[in-house]
Amino acid sequence: MGGRPTTIRSLATYVPPRVLSNADLERMVDTTDEWILQRTGIKQRHIVEPGIATSDLAKEAAVGAMQQAGVRPDQIGFIVVGTTTPDTIFPSTACLLQTKIGATNAWGFDLGAACSGFTYALTTAMQMVATGAHDHALVVGADVMSSIIDYSDRTTCVLFGDGAGAVVLSPAGDDEPAIIDFAHEIDGSGGPALCMPAGGSRMPATHETVAQRMHYVKQDGQAVFKFAVRKSEEIARRVLSKNGIDPSEIDLFVSHQANRRIITAAAERLGLPESKVVINLEMYGNTTAGTIPLALADAAKDGRLKRGDLVLLASVGAGFTVGAVLLRWGL
């Protein structure tokens, strides 16, 4: 890629303290801990208290990321928030976050790519730094999925949790690890397989849409599963092939954390051993745009992610959106 090499200067995450376990869900819907674990690999998820919004989670992660990077809020030039659950349709969560953290010189926006929100936001912000438009960009992936989950629908309520992650991007120094490349695509024909039917301009909120519970996530699980497995492998191979890298050279594969079986199936197709694959969704569930930064943070904490490692990020989300980012870890 052209322009200045760009590195991830810091990483911080945040999840709300309240935990919703599989045992808790057993008392809410017709499900069991065994059923959830077998089909998803999830044991628990973190859920916000009433009144806590996406910008609140984003602020916690953003402040941590700026502190770790040694960057003041007024040095941030660009903010992009990958989210499916903005505080409001407008103003954007990026605007709300900008004032909460005091980033007085920043502009930005929300990016809607569902579970690919973080990979898409990362590459968007990278361009701002690479072109020289800004020296420091703040990338946030944050979602309060509990706000759009129907806790009477056992097929979806077991899957999702709330969480946020943030990174600061800056120009890389000489020979410093940097973001190498990315590959993204969308396939809008898959939109109906994973969506929230009401609440937009096509179907504004009415008594009927509320009564029919159309402001919650609806999913065709089988269609999403098959697409995610196939496309996770395809997009990974595309970015690796473009850069002349064999999958065996990857040090760590960090996929969107939606379902254990999706991650392991994609990893097996790439020929990656379990030791190179990060899976932490058992503790968080699917936090949508928050999963990849949460997985990176846990891998770094466990010593599995080290400076200089060749890392492959991959995501598939509603839309359908597909993304991969190839990078050398710089922390």
Please give the Cα distance from 139 to 123 (Å, whole number).
Answer: 9
pLDDT in tens, 216-249: 999 999 999 999 999 999 999 999 999 999 999 9
pLDDT at position 20, please? 98
Q: Catalytic: 256?
A: yes
Q: Please pick, among 46, 95, 115, 157, the residue that the annotation labels catalytic.
A: 115
Q: Please pick, among 22, 184, 256, 259, the residue that the annotation labels catalytic.
A: 256
Asked whether the whole model's pTM tops 0.85, one would answer yes
Mapped onto helix, strand or coil, the DSSP state of residue 304 is coil
Q: Catalytic: 157?
A: no
Please give the Cα distance from 219 to 247 (Å, whole number).
Answer: 31
Q: Catalytic: 105?
A: no
- 214 pLDDT band, cuts 50/70/90, is very high
- 192 pLDDT band, cuts 50/70/90, is very high
Please give the Cα distance from 39 to 20 (Å, whole number).
Answer: 18
pLDDT in tens, 261-284: 999 999 999 999 999 999 999 999
- 134 pLDDT band, cuts 50/70/90, is very high
Q: Please pick, among 95, 134, 259, 286, the residue that the annotation labels catalytic.
A: 286
Please give the Cα distance from 193 to 197 (Å, whole number).
Answer: 11
Is 9:170 a contact under the CB 8 Å cutoff?
Answer: yes
Give me the mean pLDDT over the 41-45 stretch.
98
Could you tell me the CA-to-CA distances from 41 to 6, 156, 279, 283 in Å, in that order?
35, 14, 9, 9
